[in-house]
Amino acid sequence: MSYPENLEGSIVPRTFKSGYVVLSYCISYVGSWTTLELISRRTSMHGVSNWLILAAASVSMGGIATWCMHYIGNQAIVLANGKSDAQIKYSLGFTILSFFITILMSFIAFVTVGSDVSSLIRVFLGGILNSFGILGMHYLGQAGISNYECSYEVYWIIGAVILSFIACFTGLSKFFLFRLSWKSSWWKRATCAAIISAGISAIHWLSSIGTLYRLQEASLKPRDRYFQVFTIVVISVLSTLACLILLGLGIIAQRNKNKSIKTAQQLVLAIATFNYEGKILVNPTGSLPVKKITDAWLEQASNYFLD
């Protein structure tokens, strides 16, 4: 009888692979940073483009920073001294459900916070909802482990809940309350993302340390291996997509910065027109009608006039 079969019905020993621990944090960081970069480009709660940005940010936070981090992190867990047929395998239903639950909770949290707000109450509620999404995803994912019965030590769960809220509230409050002043400070958004991803990772590992695995079935069928490979492929694709989004946003930001520098050197003539009610009229983009006169203006003399 093999070693894992002797352990069926027993709590198995557990170790962690440091490489996967680091990789899981990096994935969470990329997802968190992508989320903040996307949200920083929202202008209001109205318009199709703003809702699409919100949806993309929810996928980035819930799908990449949380869900991908969880399953890559679980790859770091080595059970039963590394016996191949006693490693974690997952139920497809719970895995898919956990993916959509965390995205939905992130979406609700961002809608609750709103756009360009300075309300601590809304940020507080958003932090609670987002932390519930992270915790819900983790324990739904754990419920999807089909060959182990997981039991949890209460004080570790309490610690994870407290840390979850602190991390979400701290990260979201710093970002949303100072969002306007951070528009040109990418490193501040990156630092804020590091705080959020550190919180998400700490929640996962606190919960994992407080989890006991009781072996139910010592077998890992080929289809289970295929499912694990499929999960890793999905995570890799989502993470790569997040990196490409970050790269694209960085290129766009640099291009806009160069455009702003060039525009600042131009001399333009603006016209202010008022209607009979005394209200100023603007063009469809919300700005005053302007006419560029020259690409660059260097003052040469006080009596210099344009024709």
Cβ 205 vs Cβ 3: under 8 Å: no
CA–CA distances in Å: residue 173 to residues 121, 168, 185, 192, 196: 10, 8, 16, 10, 11
Same domain, 254 and 287: no
Domain end among 261, 277, 302 = 261
Distance CA 121, CA 239 (A): 32
Does residue 110 lie within any of the structural domains?
yes
pLDDT, position 306: 47
Range scoring the smallest mean pLDDT among 55-64, 89-98, 212-221: 212-221
pLDDT, position 257: 66
Cα Rg, the chain, nearest whole Å: 25
pLDDT grade for 70, boundaries at 50, 70 and 90: very high
Same domain, 229 and 290: no
Range scoring the smallest mean pLDDT among 69-78, 156-165, 248-257: 248-257
pLDDT 10s digits, 156-176: 888 888 887 887 777 777 777
Same domain, 274 and 220: no
Same domain, 180 and 271: no
pLDDT, position 107: 92
Same domain, 279 and 234: no
pLDDT, position 286: 67
Portion of the chain with pLDDT greater than 90, in percent? 4
Among left, alpha and beta (phi > 0; psi -120 to 50; other), residue 81 is left
pLDDT 10s digits, 180-193: 666 667 788 888 88
Does residue 18 lie within any of the structural domains?
yes
Does residue 4 lie within any of the structural domains?
no
Mean pLDDT of 119-132: 82
Range scoring the smallest mean pLDDT among 89-98, 245-254, 296-305: 296-305
Does residue 184 lie within any of the structural domains?
yes
pLDDT, position 203: 86
Mean pLDDT of 236-243: 76
Considering its fold, how many domains does the chain have in total? 2
Mean pLDDT of 63-73: 89
Same domain, 61 and 95: yes
Mean pLDDT of 249-274: 70
Residue 307, pLDDT above cutoff 60? no
Distance CA 149, CA 15 (A): 17
Mean pLDDT of 106-111: 89
292: number of CA atoms within 13 Å, CB side?
Answer: 8
Same domain, 90 and 228: yes
8-216-19 Cα angle (round to 5): 95
pLDDT, position 297: 56
Q: Which residue has the tokens 């100072």?
A: 178
Helix (H, G, I), strand (E, B) or coil at 39: helix
Does residue 302 lie within any of the structural domains?
no
pLDDT 10s digits, 22-62: 989 998 998 888 888 888 877 677 778 788 888 888 888 98
Does residue 303 lie within any of the structural domains?
no
How far does Cα 40 stand from its chain's mean position?
Answer: 13
Residue 82, pLDDT above cutoff 70? yes
Same domain, 273 and 150: no
Same domain, 93 and 135: yes
Same domain, 20 and 127: yes
Does residue 300 lie within any of the structural domains?
no
Domain span including residue 129: 10-261
197-59-160 Cα angle (round to 5): 35
pLDDT, position 127: 82
pLDDT grade for 3, boundaries at 50, 70 and 90: very low
Portion of the chain with pLDDT greater than 70, in percent? 78
Same domain, 281 and 178: no
Does residue 167 lie within any of the structural domains?
yes
Distance CA 90, CA 230 (A): 12
Compute the mean pLDDT over every residue in the chain, rounded to the nearest whole number: 78
Same domain, 272 and 158: no
pLDDT, position 260: 67
